[in-house]
């Protein structure tokens, strides 16, 4: 059974897949107890129950990993056979109405980084030690699978995200977006493409330095993230140029988005080295698929042509592809 679960874990593509596999086998491995897998939420730095088996654990229970004795004291495991032995605050906080149950905690860790916690509750004291060896083996296996998936996710993000702005990069735009959104057969489904250039960006680099320019790019990246819908895709196209893909948005509402971006960027304040940098403005070009090009490359090209026309007309302007 351990080999079979290991094979399934190797095929997991996401952490949710891992949790589902462990939920399937947890009760088989430990029929004499109930338990759950807690993992660290990196945003809150608290643990969350992601899967459980057997007797119920409180789903709403969240706690800091340091509330567990095993984590706090860097131990491979921690257990208590009676209530007066409780050394894990998270157990005391979540004790069920029926009272204390013997428990066992096994941290999931990798190179001194704690990834989560396996927690077991028993009806009989003698079952605790009987389960500990297998629980330690499973914790090691889970730790390796979790850390490998995290590393894979980080590498994938590095290949599709611009590290400076956090937006998608040009490669993602030209490969993934082109394949998934711009379908030649979907002629009735408009996709608006906005190409943006930060006006006078080179003068900021020249006067304040490249670090100040990077600060502006970061700020603009955050600004764009805050001005798109959940279905929109924002990319850093290169240098100070950005592209926003707006699936399902025809010309008129797309123009309103252009105007909103043009006005709102002026209120963005960027400070660097104790100084306020100059007010930012955008030049923008708009093209619509499939009216302006039968594929993404052509639509992007026409959005670029419209952008250059807007810049020729003066800063803080936009133009629409013919």
Report the alpha-carbon distance of residue 247 to residue 270 in Å, rounded. Answer: 30
Report the alpha-carbon distance of residue 233 to residue 236 in Å, rounded. Answer: 10
Determine which one of 185, 240, 241, 259 is catalytic: 240
Mode of pairing for the β-strands spanning 46-53 and 78-80: unpaired
Residue 50's nearest CA partner among 65, 35, 64 is 35
In whole angstroms, how far apart are CA 3 and each of 17, 33, 109, 208? 17, 22, 21, 60
- List all residues 6 or more positions away from 114 whose beta carbon is below 8 Å from its beta carbon: 40, 65, 71, 107, 108
Residue 280's nearest CA partner among 214, 207, 222, 197 is 197
Catalytic (active site) residue 240? yes
C-alpha dihedral sign at 285, 289, 294, 300: positive
- Report the first-to-last Cα separation within the chain, whole angstroms: 64
What would the DSSP string read from start to end of 49-66? EEEEESS---TT----GG
What would the DSSP string read from start to end of 89-150? HHHHHT--TT----EEEEEEEETTEEEEEEEEEESSTHHHHHHHHHHHHHHHHHHHHHHHHH
25 by DSSP, 3-state: which? helix
Which residues are annotated as catalytic? 240
């Amino acid at each position: 059974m351990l080999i079979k679960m290991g094979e399934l874990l190797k095929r997991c593509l996401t952490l949710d897949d891992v949790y589902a596999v462990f939920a399937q086998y947890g009760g088989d491995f430990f029929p004499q107890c109930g338990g759950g897998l807690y993992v660290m939420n990196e945003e809150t730095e608290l643990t969350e129950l992601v899967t459980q088996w057997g007797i119920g654990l409180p789903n709403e229970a969240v706690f800091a990993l340091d509330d567990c004795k095993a984590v706090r004291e860097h131990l491979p495991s921690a257990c208590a056979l009676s209530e007066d032995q409780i050394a894990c605050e998270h157990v005391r906080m979540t004790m069920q109405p029926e009272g204390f149950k013997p428990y066992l905690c096994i941290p999931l860790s990798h190179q001194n980084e704690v990834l989560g916690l396996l927690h077991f509750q028993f009806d009989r004291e003698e079952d605790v030690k009987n389960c500990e060896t297998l629980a330690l083996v499973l914790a090691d296996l889970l730790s390796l699978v979790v850390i490998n998936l995290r590393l894979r996710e980080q590498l994938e993000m590095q290949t599709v995200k611009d590290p400076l702005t956090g937006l998608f990069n040009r490669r993602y735009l030209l490969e993934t977006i082109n394949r998934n959104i711009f379908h030649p057969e979907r002629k009735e489904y408009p996709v608006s493409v906005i190409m943006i250039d930060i006006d006078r960006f080179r003068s900021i680099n020249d006067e304040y330095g490249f670090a100040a320019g990077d600060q502006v790019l970061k700020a603009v990246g955050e600004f764009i993230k805050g001005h798109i819908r959940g279905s929109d895709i924002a990319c850093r196209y290169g240098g100070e140029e950005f592209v926003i893909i707006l699936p399902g948005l025809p010309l008129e509402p797309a123009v309103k988005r252009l105007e909103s971006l043009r006005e709102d960027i002026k209120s963005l304040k960027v400070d660097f080295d104790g100084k306020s940098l100059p007010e930012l403005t955008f030049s923008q070009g708009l093209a619509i698929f499939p009216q302006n090009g039968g594929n993404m490359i052509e639509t992007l090209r026409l959005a670029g042509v419209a952008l250059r026309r807007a810049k020729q007309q003066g800063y803080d302007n936009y133009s629409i592809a013919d």
